[in-house]
Structure 1
């Protein structure tokens, strides 16, 4: 699910924490919530013309360690063999009590990327 290390050369794209709310609704299960969050990150990556292989680091916040298997399943389904460096933090709660997961990320942009 993750790598112990990853070297990034920059420039770096910092992606703020993405939440599982979609169209004013939040599903109940961690698997679906994680897929929504990863899909939001994927859209941001596509807007910058990069893919999952550009992700250097992700921080995953979950509210219940018992949800780890559903989280891992969603990561495997979406990221496949891509394994960025990753931190997993179990927190007492997120901004909305129905949120079970939030993920932020840092991705390496191509050197020629200019705004």
Structure 2
């Protein structure tokens, strides 16, 4: 049976809502929806490119805590509030994942939890067993 590692961001919402920042079970790592909030501060206000870059940096740190890197990412899911900004999101995503090329989706949503948040990203990573 695989061990289950819960990774917390320390926010007060995790125990109330019942979620973890990330969960690792065996070689599988799932990272919850990540936004451009840095504590109480929004990074990249009114700039979806900057928000995307910051989110991917945050995700990289969570992956490291789970024993992985961006090279282990097999899927990204991007939720944007304005699909007409897809090129800015795609540019930021491509700068990070151009050689990794995970499966991905980008969908427009009517809103995120805060109207200043322009994008939220989820990630799935898989660690290849060492032989």
Q: TM-score range by the shorter chain?
A: 0.7 to 0.9
Runs of at least 5 residues in structure 1 that lack an aligned partner in the other structure: 1-9
How far did 1:74 drift? 0.8
How far did 1:108 drift? 0.4
The structure that is strand-richer by fraction is 2
User: Which of 114, 117, 129 pairs up with 1:96?
Assistant: 114
Q: Which has the larger radius of gyration?
A: 2
Q: TM-score, normalised by structure 1?
A: 0.81
1:33-79 deviation per Cα after TM superposition (whole angstroms, max 9, x unaligned): 00111111100111123221211111110000111111011112222
Q: TM-score, normalised by structure 2?
A: 0.72
Higher relative contact order (CA 8 A, sep 6+): 1
Q: Which residue of 2 aligns with 1:16?
A: 32
Q: CA RMSD in A?
A: 1.6
Moved more, 85-94 or 15-24: 15-24
Q: Which residue of 1 aligns with 2:88?
A: 70
Counting matched residue pairs gives: 103
Runs of at least 5 residues in structure 2 that lack an aligned partner in the other structure: 1-25
